[in-house]
Amino acid sequence: MTTRELAQGFRLAAAPEAFIDDPYPTYAALRAFDPVHALAPGSWLLTRHKDVLALYRDGRTSSDKRREFAPKFGASPLFEHHTTSLVFNDAPLHTRVRRLLMGALDQHAIARMQAGVEALVDGLLDRMEDLAAPDLIEDFAARIPVDVIGNLLDVPHADRAPLRGWSLAILSALEPAPGADVLARGNQAVTDFVAFLKDLVEVRRRHPGDPRTDVLTRLMQGEVGGERLSEPELLHNCIFLLNAGHETTTNLIGNGVHALLGQRAQWDRLAAEPELMATAVEELLRFESPLQLNNRISTEAMRIGDVDIPPGSFLTLAIGSANHDPEVFHEPQQLDVARKPNHHLAFGQGMHACAGMNVARLEARVAFGRLLTRFPDLHLDGTPQRDRRIRFRGWRSLPVGLR
């Protein structure tokens, strides 16, 4: 198959196994030969950095998913959940929830989290040292965000065990072509999660927390324009917060360690020059972006590249491709922990840009920093298992040796 044919025949909903292992050759082909690629009638995939960035900033778009999710989810808990969360809404719901959230995720709030994240990470590394066969995902990367978001919502420690499973089940239903079993698990997870949060809200009503640090109390008490969140809005946006911050951050840490070990000179450089940590985190976000795809609907006619896009079209933004576009990044397949500038789009851009990006950056800085200091000889010790989904890019298992 020629590179042009690879680009023109690409189908996201039936992505080949080779694409799941390594999407970057396909993305390069798409950028070169078919950068505004028709996926189906009325549906396009954008792969160039300039087109993805322009669309994020374009006011003629909507994030409202009701039309797309109605046939996919039917009248179901998954439909109610996803269409009530801020990320899949436009103003006014989006604006109200975002304002309430942002106040609890500002720089002061992040600074207050730092000591807790350090203690959490150190505790996980202590525990890993005692394990015969530590797994960097299961025993480290997946445990950090669930506790950080658990702290943000002040979920009692003893009740946190099911959170990760619910989050995985709900997000898996967002894959381009989820099977019936995936949908059933997703719906059950929303139902269980809502019941769990109703109890938590009830307790918090009786014993409110500090709205400066406790996001749940903030969302319960907060008013924007004299209006509070309804109960479904409150519950579904709490679920979304946990989901948004969980797998993405796990994958940033897992993908980052895997990438650094694969280009060992970069691992060694970061160990020797810890002052590069801030640029390294941005580079790891770029290099293997945890969230690979975002979506928008055009609300007016527009032209992207040389394609006329009618109103009401489905547009898929390929973040992973934009972040490997050689028009913007010199030698994009080379990991460079000192890369600067680094205009990656791993957190999106514009009105819906990731509200938790600084929480994720804090978790990653602490995780990589403590890992490098404590185990500079860390290495893979077994065969990594890739997560075979395409919206989220990450590892299910990364067996490691510590010394």
Indicate whether 294 belongs to the interface with ligand HEM (CB under 6 A).
yes
- Tell which one of 65, 143, 236, 352 touches ligand HEM (CB under 6 A): 352
Pick 12 or 346: Cβ nearer ligand HEM: 346
Task: Report which secondary-structure segment, H or E, holds 100.
Answer: helix 93-104
For 105, phi then psi, to 5°, come to -125, 25
Kind and range of the H or E run holding 78: helix 77-84
Please, are residues 280 and 11 in contact by the beta-carbon 8 Å criterion? no
User: Interface with ligand HEM includes 245 (CB under 6 A)?
Assistant: yes
**Which pair of structure tokens corresponds to residue 237?**
């946006």
31, 98, 218, 370: which one binds ligand HEM (CB under 6 A):
98
State the minimum distance, in angstroms, from the CB of residue 363 to ligand HEM: 7
Q: Is residue 356 involved in binding ligand HEM (CB under 6 A)?
A: yes
Alpha-carbon gap, residue 79 to 268, rounded angstroms: 46
- By beta carbon distance, the residue nearest ligand HEM is 356
The structure tokens listed for 138 are 């299961």
Question: Which listed range, 118-126, 183-191, 195-203, 347-355, lies at the site for ligand HEM (CB under 6 A)?
Answer: 347-355
Q: Return d(Cα 43, Cα 2) in angstroms, integer.
A: 24
Question: Residue from 55, 189, 197, 244 that binds ligand HEM (CB under 6 A)?
Answer: 244
> By CB neighbour count within 10 A (0-12 exposed, 13-18 middle, 19+ buried), where does 74 fall?
exposed
The minimum distance between CB 90 and ligand HEM, in angstroms, equals: 10
The per-type count for the chain, helices as H runs and strands as E runs, is 17, 11
Return the residue of 86, 100, 189, 400 that touches ligand HEM, per CB under 6 A: 86
Q: Rounded distance, CA 15 to CA 306, Å?
A: 25
Choice from 151, 249, 313, 316 touching ligand HEM (CB under 6 A): 249
Place of tokens 């269980």: 192
Total number of residues that touch ligand HEM (CB under 6 A): 24
Residue 104: which residues within 8 A CB-CB, separation 6 or more? 152, 211, 212, 213, 214, 215, 218
Report residue 341 as tokens.
């500038």
Q: Does 281 bind ligand HEM (CB under 6 A)?
A: no
Instruction: Choose which of 27, 267, 347, 395 interacts with ligand HEM (CB under 6 A).
Output: 347
Q: How far is the CB of 1 from ligand HEM (least distance, A)?
A: 31
The residues of the shown chain that bind ligand HEM, judged by CB under 6 A, are 63, 86-87, 98, 101, 149, 241, 244-245, 248-249, 252, 290-291, 294, 346-348, 352, 354-356, 359-360
